Amino acid sequence: MKLLKASRKDPLLRDLRRVLPPDRVRVAPLERSIMGRDASIFEGGQAGPVCFPISTEEVQDCVDAARRHGRAVVPRGAGTGLAGGAVPLEEPVVVVTTKMNRLLSVDADQAVAWVQPGMINLDLSRALAPYGLHFAPDPSSQQVCSLGGNVGTNAGGPHCLALGVTSAHVLAVEVVLMSGEAVVLGDPDGWGPGLDLRGAYVGSEGMLGITTAIAVRLTPNPPAVQTLLLAFDSVDEAAQTVSAVIADGIVPAAIEMMDKNIIWAVENFVGAGFPLDAAAVVIVEVDGLPGGVAAEADRVAELALERGGRVRRAADDHERALIWKGRKSAFGAIAQIKPNYYLHDTVVPRTRLAEVMNQVYEIVEEHDLQVMNVFHAGDGNLHPLLLYDRREPGVMERVHAAGSAIIEASLAVGGVLSGEHGIGIEKRDFMPLMFSDADLDAQARLRRAFDPDEMANPGKVLPTGASCADVNTLGKVPEGVWG
Amino acid sequence: MTAKMSLGIDAEELASCVACGLCLPHCPTFRVTGEEWASPRGRINAMRQVQDQGAAIDQAFFSSMDSCVQCRGCEPACPSGVPFGSMMEATQAALARKRRGDWRRWGFRVLGRRRLLNLLSRVLAVAQRLRLVPSKRLGLPRIPFRQDRLRASGNDVWMFTGCVMDAWQRSTHAAVKRVVESAGVGVALSGPGAACCGALSLHAGLESHAHALAARTMEALAGSAPILVDSAGCGAVLKDYGKLVGTPEAEVFSQRVMDVHEWLATRPDLLPPAGEQGRDLTVAVHDPCHLRHVQRAHQPVAEVLARYATVVALDDDGLCCGAGGAYAAMQPELAASIRERKLEAIGRSGAEIVASANPGCTIHLANAGVTVRHPLEIVDEILDEKLDQASDDDR
């Protein structure tokens, strides 16, 4: 049994408290149990000792102690993950990086900054404001999510349409491997020789090691921005407009879509003037030099009008901020309707958007559930949110059945499992739908090249049986983890 | 200290958090600790474990709940409108029943007894001068030994004077009263009948005491005149009597309550015109949580001040300063860490003086060496200089 003894005599605890002050190693049942979940559907993960290191050396010490006692290690940032990536299984040592939240250095000329993993995404962009720079990936949770978590999930965000997701903005990472060794992958100059291990690391969901510092690429703030709010009487018209904009050769900074149900919940919170009578709204943001921005905004408006849309342009920064606040609060606004959500993250070809969305509506109706759609339309990244109240008997079966059907429908048109939230526990068992045994084995072998004993965040991403070796540390998701 | 019990939180309220985490950066204790148990999401999770799953109320649970400043900064940040304040008040009421030897149980009773409070304040003032009291550690201001009596000037509006603020900071009331009078109205004073709004008792979970104070306050402030409040914490609770007491009379009473700046901001024509003096003065406005997050009425402070001085906003999204009523005395370390962030924001603003419409914040910030005044004290001083100048011109 791994169950942590409450007593101070627990040898693992004794070792951890030798390297970290006692108030930064938490073991009270409550302090561990509230670490049992993140922002995903999963509840009831089981944390062992919860450690709050403040330096790379302390992370190494935590990993060393865990290794000596044969205990797995799970890294955690702000706990806003949507796929259960930070949910601890079987009482691992949980290493929380929130206290490692400093901006270490900024080289404005080279547009590179070194940051600690616990720094909040939006805090970084705010700190960079005096330089006229920002960090481009802007997940909806950017006001709270940590950069370490962004690296772990290779996070996206509305503004990744034109600029690429996190991997395109990470030049190097300092990683503590499960051997306790700290290594730097990649090169802050962007020209490191050899294999791109940085590329393999970004998006590895804590299964290769623990991020302790990140060299991020910084993006100049655009000289001009225009945000348009387009309203449509049907999802089809909205989806066609999205395709038409891209087909016209315009690459907007962001194109986001929200359907009727979510518009209501969001408007109720922000009061940004979202049209409550629309079947769907599309937020389009164009940026760049003032002349180009004006021309592109006019063209987007024209394309929307041709397809029956209504057009509103944000008059100033305040209005623009309000529209984005609405978009980025969508997931959190759900409890106005139901207390729980299961958020999906599939990607489908842009041209098949309307078709898949209609299928989603049908699937949900079949399973007697409610759905809201809010997503990155520009790159076909769907986010159907299934709403439910877990206190309702039998509802979980329906939620999971509908979820599977949505994933299958997305894959059937040539889509993928996850756009940006990661696989975590949530999509782990769907991986064989997308990857062959050979693919999965290759991924397992890559993982073991970094972490031979599979002690870093075990039980995530790779399904049981994916690996040829007999070192699977976890048979199945423990009871109670599924909501 | 372990026993299974319900916290008495409304089941629907408790179920209403989806755990998205968007509240975390708006929570002062999460901001300074980075630890989930010190965040709104973590606290709700802990409440659920106790109330829904029968987990024990242990030391960790007490720490998680008692570390909350009850600033309610999480509420406007929550897209689902989770009523965190109400859940925390229920939890504190449940915990208060379990606490043994909590000084607040008898200590806060003093607040409703004007003569006793004045007497103890004098004793405290003497002790301070004899250096017998660690004032800064206890979060106390320098308590005046004598204060001038306030006199009513009419009955157009009530001015709620409260407990500690009247005992320790009556000069602030005097300044506020002068500014209100300068708008051409007569001011009636709430007096000893309405001795205390009950906010501190409510936040400490002492519900029945808070109810008794509410009943007395409503009785003392009869009639239909608006009730103006110059303390954000008191105003928040007075506006909430409708829910707290739960009667139609209480609802009507709450609707008469206004923060004094709200009242002034809607009467710009009545306010004396601005002179030139204040223009040189740069004032940073610190939004008290119970004005910004609870009453959601912080804008009028800046509107009123901007007539008389150059106003700058702080760039910290209205994060709490850590004062929190008795919080600074109960949790001195966290309160100081939280204040540190506020001091940095004040430093970045470049302002020479800070305006705060809540006495607790004023004391807490002043104890860190910040020059801080009630917004209407600043206005009063500017108007006063102007009057001086006008009388100079007459000569």
Q: What is the pLDDT of residues A383-429, one digit of tens each?
A: 999 999 989 999 999 999 999 999 999 999 999 999 999 999 989 99
Note the pLDDT of residue A122. 97
When scoring B12, B13, B22 by the number of chain A Cβ atoms within 10 A, the one with the most, hence best to mutate, is: B22
Note the pLDDT of residue A475. 40
Q: Which residues of B touch A341 (CB under 8 A)?
A: 18
Q: Which residues of A touch B56 (CB under 8 A)?
A: 29
Structural domains in chain B, sorted by start: 11-98 (1.10.1060.10), 110-265 (no CATH), 277-393 (3.40.50)
**Would you call A29 and B17 a contact, using CB atoms and an 8 Å cutoff?**
no
Selected residues 412-471 of chain A with any CB under 8 Å from a CB in chain B: none
**Would you call A329 and B22 a contact, using CB atoms and an 8 Å cutoff?**
yes
**Would you call A78 and B17 a contact, using CB atoms and an 8 Å cutoff?**
no
User: Above 70 in pLDDT, residue A8?
Assistant: no
Closest Cβ–Cβ partner in B18, B37, B58 for A340: B18
Closest by CA to B239, choosing from B175, B294, B284, is B294
Half-sphere exposure of A60 (CA within 13 A, CB side): 12
User: Above 90 in pLDDT, residue A35?
Assistant: yes
Closest Cβ–Cβ partner in B19, B46, B61 for A39: B19
CA B37 to chain A, closest CA, distance in angstroms equals 6
A274, A263 contact by CB (below 8 A): yes
CATH number 3.40.50.2300 given to A103-220: no
**Would you call B79 and A141 a contact, using CB atoms and an 8 Å cutoff?**
no
Architecture of the domain defined by A224-331: 2-Layer Sandwich (3.30)
User: Above 80 in pLDDT, residue A480?
Assistant: no
User: Above 90 in pLDDT, residue A250?
Assistant: yes
Task: Give, for B81, the enclosing helix (H) or strand (E).
Answer: none
pLDDT by residue, tens only, chain B of 395 residues: 445 568 999 999 999 999 999 999 999 999 999 999 999 999 999 999 999 999 999 999 999 999 999 999 999 999 999 999 999 999 999 999 888 777 787 788 888 888 888 888 888 888 888 888 888 778 888 888 888 899 999 999 999 999 989 988 999 999 999 999 999 999 999 988 888 999 999 988 898 999 999 999 999 999 999 999 999 999 999 999 999 999 999 999 999 999 999 999 999 888 888 776 666 889 999 999 999 999 999 999 999 999 999 999 999 999 999 999 889 989 999 999 999 999 999 999 999 999 999 999 999 999 999 999 999 999 999 888 765 555 554 44
Confidence at A471, pLDDT banded by 50, 70, 90? very low
Closest Cβ–Cβ partner in A28, A39, A339 for B58: A28
**Would you call A335 and B58 a contact, using CB atoms and an 8 Å cutoff?**
no
Q: Which residues of B touch A141 (CB under 8 A)?
A: 20-22
Closest Cβ–Cβ partner in A26, A98, A335 for B80: A335
Backbone φ/ψ region at B322: left (φ over 0), alpha (ψ -120 to 50), beta: left
Cα of first residue to Cα of last residue in chain B, in angstroms, is: 74
Is residue A432 packed enough to be buried (19+ CB in 10 Å), middle (13-18) or exposed (0-12)?
middle
Ordered DSSP codes for B31-76: HHH--GGGSHHHHHHHHHHHHTT-----HHHHHHHHT-----THHH
Domain boundaries in chain A?
A: 11-96, 103-220, 224-331, 338-412
Q: Mutual orientation of helices B248-256 and B232-239 as an angle, nearest 10°?
A: 150
Cα gap B124→B114, rounded to integer Å: 15
Question: pTM for this structure?
Answer: 0.92
Architecture of the domain defined by A338-412: 2-Layer Sandwich (3.30)
Secondary-structure class of domain A11-96 per CATH: alpha beta
Note the pLDDT of residue B161. 94
User: Above 50 in pLDDT, residue A437?
Assistant: yes
Confidence at A481, pLDDT banded by 50, 70, 90? low
**Would you call A118 and B15 a contact, using CB atoms and an 8 Å cutoff?**
no
Note the pLDDT of residue A98. 98
Note the pLDDT of residue A10. 87
Q: Which residues of B touch A118 (CB under 8 A)?
A: 34
**Would you call A141 and B16 a contact, using CB atoms and an 8 Å cutoff?**
no
* Residue-wise pLDDT tens digits, A276-330: 999 999 999 999 999 999 999 999 999 999 999 999 999 999 999 999 999 999 8
CA B364 to chain A, closest CA, distance in angstroms equals 25
Chain A nearest-CA residue for B34 = A98
Q: Which residues of B touch A34 (CB under 8 A)?
A: 36-37, 42, 45-46, 49
As a three-state string, the secondary structure of A263-309 is HHHHHHHHCCCCCCCCCEEEEEEEEECHHHHHHHHHHHHHHHHHCCC
Chain B nearest-CA residue for A270 = B79
Hey, do A103-220 and A224-331 end up sharing a CATH topology, with the first three levels equal? no
A330 touches chain B (CB under 8 A): yes
Closest Cβ–Cβ partner in B21, B56, B60 for A141: B21
* Residue-wise pLDDT tens digits, A325-348: 999 998 888 888 899 999 899 999
CA A171 to chain B, closest CA, distance in angstroms equals 26
